Amino acid sequence: MGSVFGSKLRISVFGESHGAAIGVVIDGLPSGETIDMEEVYRQMQRRAPGGDKTATPRKEADMPEILSGMLGDKTTGAPLCAIIKNTNTRSGDYGNLLAAPRPGHSDYAAFVRYGGNNDIRGGGHFSGRLTANIVFAGAVSRQILKRRGIDIAAHIYSIGSVCDEPFEPTGISDDLIAALNTEKFALVDKSRENAMRAEVEAARMSSDSIGGIVECIVQGMPAGVGDPMFGGVENIIAAAVFGVPAVKGVEFGSGFAGAALRGSQNNDEFYYNDNGEIRTRTNNHGGALGGITSGMPIIFRAAIKPTPSISQEQKTVDLQQHKDTTLQIKGRHDPCIVPRAVPVIESAAAVALMNLI
Amino acid sequence: MGSVFGSKLRISVFGESHGAAIGVVIDGLPSGETIDMEEVYRQMQRRAPGGDKTATPRKEADMPEILSGMLGDKTTGAPLCAIIKNTNTRSGDYGNLLAAPRPGHSDYAAFVRYGGNNDIRGGGHFSGRLTANIVFAGAVSRQILKRRGIDIAAHIYSIGSVCDEPFEPTGISDDLIAALNTEKFALVDKSRENAMRAEVEAARMSSDSIGGIVECIVQGMPAGVGDPMFGGVENIIAAAVFGVPAVKGVEFGSGFAGAALRGSQNNDEFYYNDNGEIRTRTNNHGGALGGITSGMPIIFRAAIKPTPSISQEQKTVDLQQHKDTTLQIKGRHDPCIVPRAVPVIESAAAVALMNLI
Amino acid sequence: MGSVFGSKLRISVFGESHGAAIGVVIDGLPSGETIDMEEVYRQMQRRAPGGDKTATPRKEADMPEILSGMLGDKTTGAPLCAIIKNTNTRSGDYGNLLAAPRPGHSDYAAFVRYGGNNDIRGGGHFSGRLTANIVFAGAVSRQILKRRGIDIAAHIYSIGSVCDEPFEPTGISDDLIAALNTEKFALVDKSRENAMRAEVEAARMSSDSIGGIVECIVQGMPAGVGDPMFGGVENIIAAAVFGVPAVKGVEFGSGFAGAALRGSQNNDEFYYNDNGEIRTRTNNHGGALGGITSGMPIIFRAAIKPTPSISQEQKTVDLQQHKDTTLQIKGRHDPCIVPRAVPVIESAAAVALMNLI
Amino acid sequence: MGSVFGSKLRISVFGESHGAAIGVVIDGLPSGETIDMEEVYRQMQRRAPGGDKTATPRKEADMPEILSGMLGDKTTGAPLCAIIKNTNTRSGDYGNLLAAPRPGHSDYAAFVRYGGNNDIRGGGHFSGRLTANIVFAGAVSRQILKRRGIDIAAHIYSIGSVCDEPFEPTGISDDLIAALNTEKFALVDKSRENAMRAEVEAARMSSDSIGGIVECIVQGMPAGVGDPMFGGVENIIAAAVFGVPAVKGVEFGSGFAGAALRGSQNNDEFYYNDNGEIRTRTNNHGGALGGITSGMPIIFRAAIKPTPSISQEQKTVDLQQHKDTTLQIKGRHDPCIVPRAVPVIESAAAVALMNLI
C-alpha cells in the first residue's frame, strides 16, 4: 500500500514537505464529470494554514496545478494529476542529518525504516502538508458524490475538553451541511467557538498544543452498499482515515460508548417512514450493519492527537552520540490542527466512498 | 475486497452459518513452518461457544479439517485451506424468506445488498461463527510470528461499566502473555472477573445483552516496520479488525482519550535503555509513529457492540407486508461475546501483522 | 498474487495433487444468479482425464462439492467454495524427498522456492489437476456472462504441426459456439481430428509428448470495456491465462504474425453494419484497441508446451548426491493435454472477463 | 488497475499527449539507492523520437523533472514522482470532437469508454508518448536491479521479415548486455541493420508502417523467485508488457514455436555446471518453471504491431454523421517504432521484476 489507496478509485500521493512539489494522481475517475476547481480550491483553503487566528502563521499557497485528466472543466477519464509546488525549497540544501527525533513525530520510526535516507526537512513525506493532496482528491470526489446525492460534512466534535453539539445521528439538515462545508472552524453550535478558541489559546500560551475529535457524517448513501468482512464500509473508511497522520482512533455510530450499552439500548429499531422507506429511529449503528449501508447516515468520529510540535523543551535521544538529550523545537507551531483536520477527514471519507459506490 | 484480506498474506474466508461448511484459504504462508495444530485448536476453543458459563449454550465442534498446504506438521508454502463442517445443516431446508429484519443485525442491509438471495439462516455469511476462520488463520500466523519474536495478547478491557486493569502501555510480562493466551475469560486482574460476570448475568436476567472493549498488545515488533499514509500499521490493523462483525471502533495508544490531552502530555519522550536501545518512557503513541513501528509495543482497543440478539420484543418492519411490526428472537443467546472476541481480535491483528513483516 | 486472482471477482485456488482435496473460493459473485451445476460438471468433464482415447488413463472423479455461496440453484452473493476430494490420498505417506527434478517440470524451481518443504507428490500445488478449479470457476462465470450476452468458445488451433481451421476473426456462429462448448476434442473442422490424433499417437508411440495451441474467442462483449495501460483486456486475460501451468505464450488478434505486417495490412477499417453498428471489416486487433474492447470479438491464442512428463530416459541432477544423473518417469502419461486445455483456457478467460464487465 | 501497476513497487502513470505534462509516481522504492539520473536520461533518449533516421521527426525533450523521492542522488524511500512537461501544449485549444476514428488506434474504443470526454489530441492518455514514463520507472528500477546482480537487455528480434540473430537462450555476455543497453537500434548482429533499415524505408516510401518483435533477456535472477499460478514470473511480466500500447503478443522461452515440439525436444535437461550450480543445457522454458525462476535467464519476446498511423487514405466511419467515410492522417509518422520499443519493453520487465524480488 504505502501512499497508494483504493481499488476502484486509486489515489497515489507523493511529495515531501521541502521538496520541489507535492501532489496526487487520481486514477479511475469517471469521465465527463464537471469539476468546479474554484470549489476545490475553497476546500483546500479550509485546510491551509493561515487565514485563521488559531492556525499556524506559515503561509502556504496550496494552489494546485492540474497536469492531466481534465479538459476544460470536465474529467477526461484519464488519471488526474495535480501538484502543488513548494515555494520555500532551497535546492542543494540537504541538511539531512537527524540529530534528535522529536517526541510524538515520525522522525525516529522513519529514520529506522529508511536507514536515515528519508528527507527529514519539515517531516518530509510525513508532513501534515501532504494532507493537502487528500483534500484535493476528496474535493474532486465530493463533487462527483454530490451529483449522486451523497453529501459529506464534518465538524469539530471537541477540542480538549470543550465539545460541540454532536450531530443528530439520524441526519442533519441540508443547510447545516452547506454551512459546514464552507467553514474553517466548523461547528454545529457556533456559540461554542469562543470556549474552544480559549482552549487552543491556553495551550498556545503554555507553549503547548491540544488535540480533539472530528465527527463526520455522510448523507444520501443508499442502502445495500459495501461488502461483508474486510470489504465493509467501516474497513474502507477506517483504512483511508487512518492515512491522515494525526488520527489515532476511528469509531462508527455509538462506537466506544456503545460498548458500555445493553443490546436493548444500542439496537436501532426499524420502521417505515412517511415515504414508505425503511429507516431506524436511532442510529447507534452509524449507517453500516455487517459492513453494508443501511440507508441511514454514516457517522464516524476520528481522534486527532495533539500536535506533537510544541515549543517546550522535551527529552529525547541524540542519535549520533547515542545518549539522552533535550530538544527545543524552533519556530512557531499550530497549537491545534483539529479545525484544519475537518476537511481532511471529510476528504478521506470521500475517497473511501468512491471505492464503495 | 469482500471476504478476502491482505496482500503479502491473503486470507479468503467463506461459509454460511447453516451451509455445508465454513473455512478459510491462507495464501502466502512461508514454507517449512512447523504448526502445532493442537495449539491452533486450543485457540479456536477460546472462541467457540460453550465450555464457559457466560457463553451461548449452542455446541459447535469448531474442529478444522486441513485440506491443503500442510505436509505432516509443516507448511508446504502452497495455500493452506481449512474447513469446519457444519453439523446442524438440513439440506433442502431453504426457508429463506426474510420477514422481519432483526434490529442491530445485518439482516436488512444484506437483504438489500443481495436482493434477498443471501442465506439468512443463522445470519448466513454474516454470522459470528465465521470468525472461527479468522481465529484459525490467526492461530497459524501467531505461531509464525512467535518464532520471529512477536507475541500477541489481549484481554477484556471492559464489559459494560466494569473495567479490567489496562495493559501497562510500555509492555507486559511474558508470563502474563502466556497466561492470557490460554484463557477463555482473559483478564489482567482476575479479581474483576466476578464483577464482570455479574454484569453479564444482569444483562441475561433482563433478556438483554452487554458490550465491551477488547485491548490488544503486540510485543517484539522491531522498529521501522510499516509504510507511510495508507500502508501504516494502524491502517492495516484497523482494516483487519473492522472485519470482525461486532467491532464499531478501533483506537491506538491513548486514542480518543489522547484527543483531550495537551501535546506535552501525549508526546512520548525517547531515551536509551540499559541495553542501549531507544525506547519511549510512555506509550501514548501505541507503538506506531507516522504509521511505522517505533519498537514499543503496539497497543490498540476495539469496541465490541452488545450482541444484537436479545430475547426482548423489539420493533422492526415486516418486509413482505411493508408495515411496522414487532419481533421476538427465539432461542437462547450469548448475552456477551466480549470474552470470545478476545482471540478473534488477537487473530485479526496477527493476520494484519503477517502483511507487515 | 500467488494462487489468488482478480479484484472484482477474486478466485483463491488451493490444493495439492495428492492432498486431501483441491478447491477454489470465488469471492464477488453477483447474487441471485442461477447456476446449472450439471452444466458446470459437464465443463469439468471436458477437462478431466479419461473418457477420451488420447487422454491419460488415470481416472479422476472431478466431482465438486459446494461448501458455500449457493442456496438451491442460486448464488447467495457470499463466497462460493467448491472442493474436489482426492481419492488416491494415503495419509501419513509423506515420501517427500526430491531426488531428481523432472526436466520441464516445476520440481526444481519449487524445491528452491519452498526450501524442499513443498508437497512433491504428483507435482503438489503445481499439478495440472489444479486447473480443475479454474474450470469450475470459469464454468460458473460463463453462465453469468452468457446471461449478459457474452459467449466464450475455444478450439484446438494446432497439435504439433497439424492445424485446425482458424476461427473467422470477425465472428463465429452461435451453432459453432454451442457445438464447441460440448466437445472434448474441440475443432472447427472435424475432418482434421484424425490427423491430429495421429500426431498424438505418434508421440505416444515414441514415449514422447506433443504441444499445441488453443485459440479462444469471446463474442458479445460490448465496446468500451477495459482500462488503459495495465488495466486493459489483454493484460487481464494474459495475467489469468498465464496462470495455466503449460501456457508459454499469449497473443491477441494477428499477434506475432501481425508483427511482420505493414500497417495498411494490419489496421482494421471501421464501417457501419446494416444495424447501424460500428464494426471492423477485419479483426487483426483481436477485439481490443488501447486495451479497451472495440465491440469486435476478442480473439487470442495460447501456446501450450508439450507435457513434460515423458517415459523416455532423461538427463537431470541428483539433488541429494549433487551430481548428474538420469531419470525415467514411471507410469502412463497423457501425451497431449491440448484438448483438455481448451476448457481451461476458456475458463481462465471467463474469470478474467468477470473482472472487466 | 488502469494506469497503476504493481503491488510491492507500484507505478502510477499519468498524462495526455497534449496536456500540461506526463509523469509517473513510483511508490515502494527502497531507500538509500543511488540513482544516476544521467543514465536514466540516456535510457529515455533511447526511446525518444528523433536522433535516429528511422524515427519520427517530431522533437520531444523527454527531460524528466524530479518532484519528490530523491535527496541528492539517493532515493528517500518516499514516492518518487517525475514529470515531463509538454512543450507543444496550447491551453484553451480543446478541439476535442472526434470525427473519424483512426483504424488500428484506440480512438473509437476510447470514445465509447469515456463517452467522448477523453482528450483525443495526439491520442491523449493512449499516446505512445506515455511510454516515456515506463522508461523512466524502468531505468530507475534497472539501476537497483543491477546492484542486486540482475541485468536486462533487449534487441530488435525482427522488423517485418528481417530477423536479427536471436539471443543465445542460455545466456549472453556482459559485453553484449552493456553494448545493447546504449543502443538506439539494438541488434545482436549489427550486420543486419542495413537490411532492417531498408525494410523500414520501404514502408515509409509506401506511406506505410511496419511491425516487429522485441526479444528481452533477464540475467542474474536467482532460482526460486515467483509464486505459482497467478503470481508467476510470466503472469507479472506479461501483465506489465501488455501495458505497452503496441504489444499484441508475449511468449517465454520456446513459446509458440515450442507448441509444435515434442516433450523430448522442449524439456531442458538439468546438470551441474563447473561451479556446482544447477543449470539447464537448453532454455526452452525461458527461465520460469511453474511460474518460478529456475536460475536460467528469463527470455521473452513481445510482438509489436505496425504503427497504425500511416499516411495512406483509409476507410473509417464518421461518428458525427453516422456514415462510412475515408480518412487521411496528416503529418509525418514514425514508420517503425520497434527500435524505440526496445527500452520500453526492457523497462516494463524491470518494473515487473521489482515486484518479484
What's the pLDDT tens digit per position in B95-125? 778 889 999 999 999 999 999 999 999 899 9
In chain D, which ranges are E strands? 4-5, 10-14, 21-27, 65-68, 70-71, 74-75, 80-85, 151-159, 162-163, 212-219, 247-252, 270-272, 278-280, 288-289, 292-293, 298-304, 313-318, 323-328
Using DSSP bridges, classify how beta strands C270-272 and C10-14 pair: parallel, antiparallel or unpaired.
Answer: unpaired
Nearest CA in chain D to C8: D1
CA D243 from chain center: how many Å?
A: 8
Q: Which residues of A touch D115 (CB under 8 A)?
A: 31-32
B204 CB within 8 Å of a chain A CB? no
C79 touches chain B (CB under 8 A): yes
Residues of chain D short of pLDDT 70, as ranges, are 1, 51-61, 88-94
Query: Looking at residue D94, what is its pLDDT?
Result: 63
The three-class DSSP label of residue D147 is helix
Residues with Cβ within 8 Å of C160's Cβ and at least 6 positions away in sequence, in order, are C199, C200, C203, C210, C211, C212, D260, D262
- Segment B163-212, tens digit of pLDDT: 999 999 999 999 999 999 999 999 999 999 999 999 999 999 999 999 99
| pLDDT value at A344 more than 70 | yes
Rounded Cα distance between D221 and A295, Å, is 53
Q: Please write the tens of the pLDDT for every residue from A260-274.
A: 999 999 999 999 999
Closest chain A residue to the Cα of C79, Cα to Cα? A228
Share of residues in chain B with pLDDT > 90 (%): 90
Q: Give residue D330's identity as a one-letter amino acid code.
A: K
* Arithmetic mean of pLDDT over chain A: 94
B263 and A210 in contact by Cβ < 8 A? yes
What is the C-alpha to C-alpha distance for residues C257 and C282, in angstroms, rounded to an integer? 15
Q: How many CA atoms lie within 13 A of C182 on its CB side?
A: 6
Asked if C30 and C144 count as a contact pair (C-beta separation under 8 A), the reply is yes
DSSP, residue by residue, A6-43:
-SSSEEEEE--TTSSEEEEEEESPPTT-B--HHHHHHH
Chain C residues touching A78 at Cβ < 8 A: 228
Chain A interface mutation, best of B17, B204, B248, highest count of A Cβ atoms under 10 Å: B248
Q: What is the DSSP annotation of A66-94?
A: EEESEETTEE-SSPEEEEEE-SS--TT--
Q: How distant, in Å, are the alpha carbons of B167, B342, D118, D295 from that of B180? A: 12, 10, 59, 47
Q: Look up residue A333 and give its three cell numbers.
A: 507551531
The residue of chain D with its CA nearest to that of C324 is D271
D157 and D186 in contact (C-beta within 8 Å)?
Answer: no
pLDDT for position D55: 47
Chain D hits for C163, Cβ within 8 Å: none
Non-local (6+) Cβ contacts of C300 within 8 A are: C215, C216, C234, C237, C241, C250, C251, C252, C253, C255, C286, C349
**Taking the alpha carbons of C200, C203, C209, C214 in that order, is the dihedral positive or negative?**
negative
- Res. B92: pLDDT tops 60: no
- Parallel/antiparallel/unpaired status of strands A278-280 and B4-5: unpaired
C-alpha cell at B304: 465490541
Coil, strand or helix at A277: coil
Q: What does each C-alpha distance from B214 to A25, A232, A262, B192 come to in angstroms? A: 38, 20, 17, 15
Helix A338-354 and helix A37-47: axis angle, to 10°?
140
- The secondary structure element, H or E, covering residue C279 is strand C278-280
Radius of gyration for the alpha carbons in chain C, expressed in angstroms and rounded: 21
Q: How far is B159 from chain D (nearest CA, A)?
A: 41
Query: What gap in Å lies between CA C133 and CA C252, rounded to an integer?
Result: 25
What contacts D35, CB < 8 A, 6 or more positions away?
D70, D73, D74, D75, D140, D143
What pLDDT sits at residue D56? 47
Give the pLDDT of residue C61: 64
State the smallest CA–CA distance between residue B230 and chain C in angstroms. 18
- pLDDT of the residue at A94: 63
Q: How far is Cα C8 from Cα C6, in angstroms, rounded to an integer?
A: 6
Spatial separation of the C-alpha atoms in residues A45 and C324, rounded to whole Å = 72
Q: Which residues in chain C are contacts of D209 at CB distance < 8 A?
A: 262-264
pLDDT tens figures, B322-349: 999 999 988 778 999 999 999 999 999 9
Domain edges within chain D: 4-356
Cα A70 from Cα A67, distance rounded (Å): 8
Residues in chain C with CB shorter than 8 Å from the CB of B20 are 65-68
Rounded to a whole number of angstroms, the distance from the CA of C206 to the nearest CA of chain D is: 10
CA proximity to D36, closest of D181, D153, D171, D156 = D181
Test B213 with A256 for CB contact under 8 angstroms.
yes
C-chain residues near D267 (CB < 8 A): 103-104, 306, 308, 310, 314
Q: Once rounded to an integer, what is the mean pLDDT over residues A74-82?
A: 98
Contact D55/D124 with Cβ under 8 angstroms?
no
Q: Are B77 and C113 inside 8 Å of each other by CB?
A: yes
- Residues of B numbered 28-57 whose beta carbons fall under 8 angstroms of chain A's beta carbons: which are they? none
In angstroms, the Cα distances linking A214 to A197, A259, A338, D269 are 15, 20, 7, 65
| Contact state of D269 with C234 under an 8 Å Cβ cutoff | no
Query: Average pLDDT, stretch A170-196?
Result: 97
CA-to-CA dists, residue C250 to A350, B275, C217, angstroms? 40, 58, 13
Average pLDDT over residues A133-148: 98
The pLDDT of residue D303 is 98
Nearest Cα of chain B lies from the Cα of A284 at a distance, in angstroms, of 9
pLDDT tens-digit profile of A201-237? 999 999 999 999 999 999 999 999 999 999 999 999 9
Half-sphere exposure of C180 (CA within 13 A, CB side): 28
The CA distance from C314 to C311, in Å, is 9
Q: What is the pLDDT of residue B62?
A: 72
Please name the residue of chain B whose CA is at the shortest distance from the CA of residue C15.
B68
- Is D224 an interface residue toward B (CB < 8 Å)? no
**Residue segments in chain C with a per-residue pLDDT below the cut of 50:** 54-59
Which residues lie closer than 8 Å to B187 by C-beta, 6 or more apart? B155, B156, B164, B165, B193, B196
Question: Residues B132, B137, B139, B142: is their CA dihedral positive or negative?
Answer: negative
Q: ∠ at Cα A68 (A66, A70), nearest 5°?
A: 80
Instruction: Specify whether the CB–CB gap between B243 and A232 falls below 8 A.
Output: yes
Max mean pLDDT among A57-71, B77-91, C235-249 falls in: C235-249
Determine contact, residues C139/C345, Cβ cutoff 8 Å: no
Using CA atoms, how far apart are residues C256 and D102, in angstroms rounded to an integer? 22
Q: Using CB atoms, pick whichever of A126, A232, A308 lies closest to residue B242.
A: A232
B300: which 3 cell numbers? 490498540
Nearest chain C alpha carbon to B83: C67
pLDDT of residue C1: 66
The beta strands (E) that lie in B220-297 are given as: 247-252, 270-272, 278-280, 288-289, 292-293
d(CA D270, CA D280): 4
Q: Check A4 against D10: CB less than 8 A apart.
A: yes
Q: How far is A3 from chain D (nearest CA, A)?
A: 7
Please judge whether B83 and C96 are an interchain contact, meaning their C-beta atoms are less than 8 angstroms apart.
no
Specify the pLDDT at position A221: 97
State which amino acid sits at residue A332. R
**pTM (predicted TM-score):** 0.96
ipTM for this prediction: 0.96
User: Chain-wide mean pLDDT for chain D?
Assistant: 94
Q: What is the DSSP string of C11-49?
A: EEEE--TTSSEEEEEEESPPTT-B--HHHHHHHHHHHSS
User: Taking Cα atoms as reference points, which of D129, D140, D143 lies closest to residue D14?
Assistant: D129
Using the predicted structure, report yes or no on whether residue B19 has a pLDDT greater than 50: yes
pLDDT given at position C56: 47
C7: nearest CB among A7, A227, A228: A7
The angle, 0 to 180 degrees and rounded to 10, between the axes of the packed helices C37-47 and C131-147 is 140
State which amino acid sits at residue B153. Answer: A
B and C: number of Cβ contacts within 8 A? 169
Grid coordinates given for B352: 494484519
What are the strands, taking DSSP E only, across A144-293? 151-159, 162-163, 212-219, 247-252, 270-272, 278-280, 288-289, 292-293
Q: How far is C72 from chain D (nearest CA, A)?
A: 31
Burial label for A322, CB within 10 Å (0-12, 13-18, 19+), is: exposed
Gap between the Cα atoms of C256 and D303, Å rounded: 5
Q: What is the largest CA-CA distance in chain D?
A: 72
**Cell numbers linked to D265:** 525436444
The tens digit of pLDDT for each residue in A14-50 reads 999 999 999 999 999 999 999 999 999 999 999 998 7
Per-residue pLDDT at B91 exceeds 90: no
The whole-angstrom separation of Cα D247 and Cα C258 is 10
The strand pair at A247-252 and C162-163 is best described as unpaired
Band the pLDDT of A61: cuts 50, 70, 90. low
- Which chain A residues have a beta carbon less than 8 Å from that of B128? none
Beta bridge partners of D261: none
Q: Tell me whether B205 touches chain A (CB under 8 Å).
A: no
Question: CA-based angle B251:B252:B257, to the nearest 5?
Answer: 70
The per-residue pLDDT for range C263-285, each reduced to its tens digit, is: 999 999 999 999 999 999 999 99
D-chain residue closest to B30, CA distance: D227
For chain B, say whether C21 makes contact (Cβ under 8 Å). Answer: yes
**What pLDDT score was predicted for residue B96?**
78
* Amino acid D58: pLDDT: 45
CATH code given to domain D4-356: 3.60.150.10
pLDDT at B56 over 50: no
